[in-house]
Amino acid sequence: MKTINLSELAQEMQMTSHENVLHTYQLIEFFIDDMVKNTRHQELLADTLRSRGSLRCFKEVCIKLGHMKNWDAYQKEHYIQKAKKWCILRNLDYVEG
């Protein structure tokens, strides 16, 4: 049986899930609530979701406010956990990293 690399599977899931904009918006909202402690930053980031080109705008504001590294890590961890659950449900062996 082939062993699944969680990082590779997580990247594939992330690419596929970009088609699912609703999921991406929800993940951004969770990130803002869970990881951004500054109330003003929370407001600014949440406002980007109501603008045209919201995903691009979110990333730009994230960079400007210094949250991009945290967003990337949060998003990566989300998809790694999702990949792990996917493997477990299918009784597939996996490696982390």
Q: Which of 41 and 7 is assigned the larger pLDDT?
A: 41
Find tokens 């590294």 and name the residue.
69
For the chain, what are the domain ranges? 4-95
Residue pair 88/4 in contact (Cβ under 8 Å)? The answer is no
Residue pair 5/93 in contact (Cβ under 8 Å)? The answer is no
pLDDT value at residue 15: 65
pLDDT value at residue 24: 85
Average pLDDT (4-32) is 79
Is it the case that residue 2 has pLDDT exceeding 80? no
Is it the case that residue 17 has pLDDT exceeding 60? no
